[in-house]
Amino acid sequence: MKRYTLEDVAKLAGVTSTTVSRVINNRGNISDKTRKKVYAAMESLNYRPNALARTLLGKQSFIVGLIFPTTNHPFYGEIIYYLEKILSEFGYKVMICNSMNDSKKEQDFVQMLLANQVDGLIVGTHNTDIEIYKKANLPIVSIDRILSENIPVVSSDNYQGGFLATEYLYDKGARHIVHINSLRADEAPYSYERRQGYIDFLTTKALSPSIFEVDYELSFDVKKNILIGILELNKAIDAMFIADDLTALLTRQVCQMLNRDVNIIGYDGSELIIKYYPDLATIQQPIEEMSSEAVKLLIREINQDFTSQGVKVKCPVQLLANR
Amino acid sequence: MKRYTLEDVAKLAGVTSTTVSRVINNRGNISDKTRKKVYAAMESLNYRPNALARTLLGKQSFIVGLIFPTTNHPFYGEIIYYLEKILSEFGYKVMICNSMNDSKKEQDFVQMLLANQVDGLIVGTHNTDIEIYKKANLPIVSIDRILSENIPVVSSDNYQGGFLATEYLYDKGARHIVHINSLRADEAPYSYERRQGYIDFLTTKALSPSIFEVDYELSFDVKKNILIGILELNKAIDAMFIADDLTALLTRQVCQMLNRDVNIIGYDGSELIIKYYPDLATIQQPIEEMSSEAVKLLIREINQDFTSQGVKVKCPVQLLANR
DNA sequence: ATGAAAGCGCTAACAC
DNA sequence: GTGTTAGCGCTTTCAT
């Protein structure tokens, strides 16, 4: 249970802790003999340097905080998977926080991560309280969300996505195309862009938009009831563009239940949905690419390269249908 | 960017760092006046104590390492979600590692987590190399997997699950019930129990078992081809008990493709599958309960209460069908 | 009620 | 090529 220290290794190897440190970090000149002795000692004690003590010396912690609503979601789960994977390739460890879009929890998490000396943050939540991020004074990258002027954002091309989705439904013959999303005022410009793509396409066909806001965080059952209400009150609806795949699947269930023939397209295109719901049309975000862009931006910031300040990366989307 | 220290706060408050420490930790006697001054100073510097420095003093790090194949999976994503949630309620932070069942990666992760002074580990991977865990000399809890004699395990009642699943298919009228799982010799006793439940039920009906091993880690497409092969070569199959829901869904796709009328039941019963695939029969593991048990066991171990050594918690499962 | 000093495990600066 | 020393941010004796 006791964890060995440099000192222990040094004693066993008959040298001083500085020498051991030098061996570990490959710094300075060390004779082959001592190097071997040290390695042997480390081996026999099963020694691991204390990463935390290193950090105390003013070095990087190589810890990155990930704040997302939940890992239990096809889109977030996949993006977290890629973020962890890519970060670990760069030597970074990951602390995960599931905020469940609870603003209070999120603030506590940020404080906790700060206390743990994280080198940076990647944030994919959708809260209103973003003051903490402005104050944090720390490398941050946001996914799909503007936190403040100079925090870089990685998102997919939401406008294009909205446009393509609507076009798809139109091409399927639909003329009463409804859009369901979870707009949160000025806080969600991306959701707004998606919506704008929808509106603009309809405009080219001289059709008028019809948008319903269904808060993303609502429970399954509440959402379901709202969707039932929408469909019951609007018998003309023949197609729906839903802002995320899960809600799209739910809508499909509802339509089936109500015996309504409605064309549906979702948004996200996570691997899970694509493989296990191949018949759901969707707009695919390039999740791996987005993750990789986010990591790149973050590491640049961590390395004091501030050219990424205010950068907005927009990754291309793809229509996936009739699979 | 500079992070303030106790010293900074002390200076600003006109006291010594010891006093500030006392205020923060609520230890000893402090006059109301100084307490207020200190709080004010902390506030104005936006000060956060360095959690890592504390750990250096031989205290707990309050970091727990989670090693799972991936967050990008309905079952693992959900269990990770609950683990993080429950652990954070106890003041623990979580470092996540996606091993993808890569044994080398897993070993590196364990070393990394050790170096970061984690207080304990919760492991949900299925590798063969478990020596590291035996050597780690650290509080560990395993999910659904025996790592060594005294490492506690939390699992669902796999025998019961196998039995119920088979019974369900039998009651549906099936008489040629095949079981697909991913048995890895002696490494996976739980998979074995599930299989035993299947065999035992069939025995009560004087039916003979027929088991195919499809490695869990195979890619979607390879699995698909194997399943096609199995179905093509065994025209009598009228029901399949599949060891996990995702493979069950894939099997359903394959059956549909081959125009085969086969009753299917999966295993896991994650929230995602239940909600968005309500027509898939499955055996539901109580994921929240399992997570909570795992955390309880781990914290007990961390607190030097070794009564949990060798404990095997078996949570009840439930048949979910005809929803 | 507060301070001074030592030390946690490690690395960097400066000897020798 | 190796050792000595100081110090990272914090807590914990032990004084006062």
Give the model confidence (pLDDT) of B57-116 as tens digits: 888 999 999 999 999 999 999 999 999 999 999 999 999 999 988 888 999 999 999 999
Kindly tell me if the per-residue pLDDT of A3 is higher than 90.
no
Same domain for A297 and A271, yes or no, is no
> Cα distance from B205 to chain A (closest Cα, Å)?
34
Phi and psi dihedrals of B308, rounded to 5? -90, -5
Residue B146 inside a domain? The answer is yes
Provide the number of structural domains found in chain A. 3
**Nearest-by-Cβ selection for B98 from A74, A84, A275:** A84
Kindly tell me if the per-residue pLDDT of A184 is higher than 70.
no
Q: Per-residue pLDDT tens for A6-19?
A: 999 999 999 999 99
Q: Per-residue pLDDT tens for B18-69?
A: 999 999 998 888 889 899 999 999 999 889 999 999 998 888 999 999 999 9
Same domain for A39 and A68, yes or no, is no
**Nearest-by-Cβ selection for A72 from B81, B88, B253:** B81
What is the distance in angstroms measured between the alpha-carbon CA of A144 and the sugar C1' of D9?
A: 36
Residue A320 inside a domain? The answer is no
Mutation target for A interface from B24, B25, B52, B76: give the one with most A CBs within 10 A.
B52
Question: Which chain B residues touch A3 with a CB distance below 8 Å?
Answer: 117
Mutation target for B interface from A72, A287, A303: give the one with most B CBs within 10 A.
A72
Question: Which chain A residues touch B275 with a CB distance below 8 Å?
Answer: 220, 250
Q: Which pLDDT score, from 0 to 100, does residue A20 have?
A: 92
Residue B90 inside a domain? The answer is yes
**Nearest-by-Cβ selection for A95 from B93, B271, B278:** B93
Stretch A98-111: mean pLDDT, rounded? 90
- Residues spanned by the domain of B216: 158-284
Is the C-beta of residue A49 closer than 7 Å to nucleic acid chain C? yes
Question: Which chain B residues touch A63 with a CB distance below 8 Å?
Answer: 95, 116
CA A17 to chain centre: 42
Same domain for A103 and A140, yes or no, is yes
Measured at the CA of B276, the angle between CA A247 and CA B216, to 5 degrees, comes to: 125
> Cα distance from B300 to chain A (closest Cα, Å)?
15
Same domain for B280 and B182, yes or no, is yes
What is the distance in angstroms measured between the alpha-carbon CA of B315 and the sugar C1' of C3?
A: 55
Q: Which pLDDT score, from 0 to 100, does residue B184 have?
A: 65
Same domain for B71 and B174, yes or no, is no
Kindly tell me if the per-residue pLDDT of A130 is higher than 80.
no
Q: Are A123 and A101 in contact (CB under 8 A)?
A: no
Same domain for A164 and A278, yes or no, is yes
Same domain for B71 and B142, yes or no, is yes
Asked whether the beta carbons of residue A276 and residue B250 sit closer than 8 angstroms, the reply is: yes
Q: Is the dihedral of CA B21, B27, B32, B33 positive or negative?
A: negative
Q: Which pLDDT score, from 0 to 100, does residue B260 have?
A: 97
Chain A interface includes B71 (CB < 8 A): yes
Report CA-CA distances (Å) from A226 to A13, A212, A230, A232, B278.
71, 10, 6, 10, 19
Same domain for B100 and B209, yes or no, is no
Whole-number Å distance between alpha carbons of B283 and A314:
42
Same domain for A256 and A176, yes or no, is yes
Q: How confident is the model at residue A1 (pLDDT cuts 50, 70, 90)?
A: low
Residue A321 inside a domain? The answer is no
Using C1' positions and the CA of B15, the closest nucleotide is C2
Asked whether the beta carbons of residue B71 and residue A93 sit closer than 8 angstroms, the reply is: no
Same domain for B236 and B222, yes or no, is yes
> Cα distance from A256 to chain B (closest Cα, Å)?
13
Report CA-CA distances (Å) from A89 to A154, B173, B189, B280.
20, 51, 33, 38
Long-range interactions of A185-193: CB distance < 8 A, separation 24+: A187/A126, A187/A128, A187/A145, A188/A126, A188/A145, A189/A146, A190/A144, A190/A145, A190/A146, A190/A155, A190/A158, A191/A158, A191/A243, A193/A158, A193/A159, A193/A162
Chain B interface includes A115 (CB < 8 A): yes
Is the C-beta of residue B34 closer than 7 Å to nucleic acid chain C? yes
Residue A55 inside a domain? The answer is no
